[in-house]
Amino acid sequence: MAVSSNSIRSEALAHHLCSKTPCLIGFSSRNRGSKLFFTRTSNFRRARRSFHVKNVSSVPDQKLQDSTTDIDEASGDLGSFAPDAASIASSIKYHAEFTPLFAPEKFELPKAFFATAQSVRDALIINWNATYDYYEKMNVKQAYYLSMEFLQGRALLNAVGNLELTGAYGEALNKLGHSLENVASQEPDAALGNGGLGRLASCFLDSLATLDYPAWGYGLRYKYGLFKQRITKDGQEEVAEDWLEMGNPWEIVRNDVSYPVKFYGKVVTGSDGKQRWIGGEDIEAVAYDVPIPGYRTKTTINLRLWSTKVPSEDLDLHAFNSGEHSKACEAQSNAEKICYILYPGDESTEGKILRLKQQYTLCSASLQDIVARFERRSKGHVKWDDFPEKVAVQMNDTHPTLCIPELMRILIDLKGLGWKEAWNITQRTVAYTNHTVLPEALEKWSYELMEKLLPRHVEIIEMIDEQLVDDILSKYGTSNPEILVEKLNVMRILENFDLPAVVADLLAELQESKIDDPSEKLEIPDETAPTDEENEPEEEEDIDKKKDVTPEPSPAPPKLVRMANLCVVGGHAVNGVAEIHSEIVKEEVFNDFYELWPEKFQNKTNGVTPRRWIRFCNPKLSDIITKWTGTEDWVLKTEKLAELRKFADNEDLQIEWRKAKRSNKAKVASFIKEKTGYSVNADAMFDIQVKRIHEYKRQLLNILGIVYRYKKMKEMTAVEREAKYVPRVCIFGGKAFATYVQAKRIVKFITDVGATINHDPEIGDLLKVIFVPDYNVSVAELLIPASELSQHISTAGMEASGTSNMKFAMNGCILIGTLDGANVEIREEVGEDNFFLFGAEAHEIAALRKERAEGKFVPDKCFEEVKEFVRSGAFGSYNYDELIGSLEGNEGFGCADYFLVGKDFPSYIECQEKVDEAYQDQKRWTRMSILNTAGSYKFSSDRTIHEYAKDIWNIQHLEIL
């Protein structure tokens, strides 16, 4: 039972005022163990710190001493000792009383969470400040990671885990009447992301801090995030996320760090000949900082999130007092809504404008901040040519593309540099990570809209486009105008624009020279000469019809700005996120650019942090790994996981392994009961597909496979069913974008199938279908340790990498999937016998779609059987004609089975039969599970970050000792 609030208040005050009782302020480096530094509040002085620099380019280690701070001899040295529960409890009590966010009467779970988080934050702030004091002092090169998403998950357990204080905080909270697990469950997931893109960004920040790399993250502080998903009888329902309603104990608003951001207005030329962007709509971007602690290190880096507002004077007080309240608050409303929603619907013009405002706000505020830090560190001796030697900007996908013209604008318009110098600096500073091969995800913006909203940036983009045209001309020359025009049409940043005058004139001259040269005879049709058909006499009725019909002129295609092309042109490095993806990027997506600049293109296979995704979320398995490898070093050096291979057949290890998995499954069974009302058997196979709902990820293939399984079960006797099929709990999770109608149909279909199967008494526990609502990081941390089979079944060549596949393999889950994204590399590492492979390969996809378009595809009879079963109404009265219709026909939007569900279906069913066979042999299955964990060592984000630091950013380790 929780202790009384009155008791906490009196003890907190006594502890705070007593000079003999220490207050938590920091902790030691990884090399000196997990110790907290405490000091008497009456005589606190900052301690001397030393620093250690490790150069990634193998320069010998350097020892550096910070002499700026000394210990006050009169007050004595800082005492240090291992953290104890009493001291931590005292700190929690202090915050419950003196950092109040709740009424004082009770010390219930929400209040306990905030007080505990603030206690942990105290420890982080000391190291946070020390980290950046040192970066400022040393003027080191720093990486800045810009992303529209940071899918962080809960921070409390991650923070105390990285500080190695889990046990101490658990004991302290027990003394206060609560468990750490229950307190941590009060924390909402930060609604700053949606899927793999945002989770990757957060894994990278964890690794950057853990590996002592100087770096910042930059994003937007969304008030409501994407949305909270509810599952009703109608499928998915979206409601606003409420993660900030109770406040965020981790963030610190920096009221002294804000930057102006401009929209609209016009560009004028001053008397000095310089361009100036004036007028328009002005807002302010204010910094909110979140500490990101590393594991076993004092390094604590920063995630800076921008919130938007306008100055108080922008409130039209006269209008307000006149009763025109909406008009009076219009400026505030326009500014604040920029940071309301992640990915607002963009089908309307207003939605498109809002999205573009979001992207520019992120880029403008972040670049202004980066430039200001560079100037401050230069201490009055600014050398702009040194900017790329001190700054690396990584664009996570195309959302931050406006970094390129914004940096150019700052350098040219505000800092007075010339075009050539600014362009050289920009290209050396910026790099781009591509995350998709889907055409719709390679952003294109309306030129008209962008010109209206960001007029100066459009001018700069036009100049960059001219520069690109010159580069293409230099590369390909004019000897073959057809190839030249083809390259320009594909590679230019500006789409559906006339050719530049110099190129058009050149082509005209070439055309004329061919006409004048008898050896170059051109077949030019004489449009005035009558054809044979025209010589035929026309009937009078036909002549009258022609008089009445005036052909409609074809509408001109819209002028667009290709953001991905701008990324490639404006940066010095372009990387894919898995080996197969990077090859597709070079051979297909950006092949023309690869021919022009092959040195720009790299591969950086994604990774996941082993701290959050195994050490903290799966403690039972972590303990087993530590026991059998003989060390906990695998948490930082995941190559040590490979040592599990030599024990894969050990019976004792297998027994421990299965016991840990069974315990995790029992937790998930309780969670499913709580969230959905369904009871599932924890001894059944847990078969899981959790990820963003999208047609290319093929949740539809999975659920149709389940329907086929169910249909075959219904055709059997109970004895036959139990002999052929192992019990399965098929778990889905993920959000369909609010305006993605087909994805929402898939969610509805899954829930309808589940409602039918789960209530079928003939099937019982032999098959259950569960859709987990509002899938997020915290749910993933529960599901992944319990998983036994995980589905990564995207159409080959369409998944850039995937990171959930890495998390599942790391936790001993066996994958069923196509040769797509990181599946290829995972299969190589874990072994072909420990991966269930099916489906067409990436190099076959184009030909298979062509076969479909020509009407040559013959669907398998089992696939036709499943479709008819769905249409029969077996899963309710909802009309699934449009969903099933998308898998039929040979051409047309929303038809022709573009994602090859029907083609891969028989291969998928056959593969699932092999899964059943393998699971029946638990010794074999456990061996496969162990080898999956052993083979996942390559997929740590630590490895990925090392490669970024060395190959793209050229930054150094900087460990604070």
Residue numbers annotated as active site: 435, 691-692, 697, 803, 807
Kindly state the tokens that stand for 753.
């199938």
Q: How far apart are CA 733 and CA 689, in angstroms?
A: 7
Kindly state the tokens that stand for 77.
């040295």
Burial 898-917 (b: 16+ CB within 10 A, else e): bbbbbbbbeebbebbeebee
Kindly state the tokens that stand for 686.
């847990």
Q: How far apart are CA 783 and CA 671, in angstroms?
A: 9
For 415, phi and psi rounded to 5 degrees? -105, -5
Output the CA–CA distances (angstroms, integers) from residue 807 to 612, 662, 665, 826, 940, in the order listed: 10, 18, 16, 11, 9
Query: Shortest CA distance to 213 belongs to which of 960, 961, 958?
Result: 958
Instruction: Tell me the β-bridge partners of 574.
Output: 432, 601
Q: How far apart are CA 155 and CA 592, in angstroms?
A: 43
Output the CA–CA distances (angstroms, integers) from residue 545 to 307, 531, 552, in the order listed: 63, 20, 15
Q: How far apart are CA 858 and CA 870, in angstroms?
A: 20
Q: How far apart are CA 112 and CA 114, in angstroms?
A: 6
> Three-state SS across 610-672?
HHHHHHHCCHHHHHHHHHHHCCCHHHCCHHHHHHHHHHCCCHHHHHHHHHHHHHHHHHHHHHH
Query: Shortest CA distance to 916 belongs to which of 708, 716, 767, 727?
Result: 727
168 near 83, Cβ under 8 Å? yes
Q: Where are the alpha helices (DSSP H) in 176-219?
A: 180-184, 196-210
Q: How far apart are CA 835 and CA 823, in angstroms?
A: 9
Query: Shortest CA distance to 254 belongs to which of 358, 356, 128?
Result: 128
Q: How far apart are CA 258 and CA 289, in angstroms?
A: 12
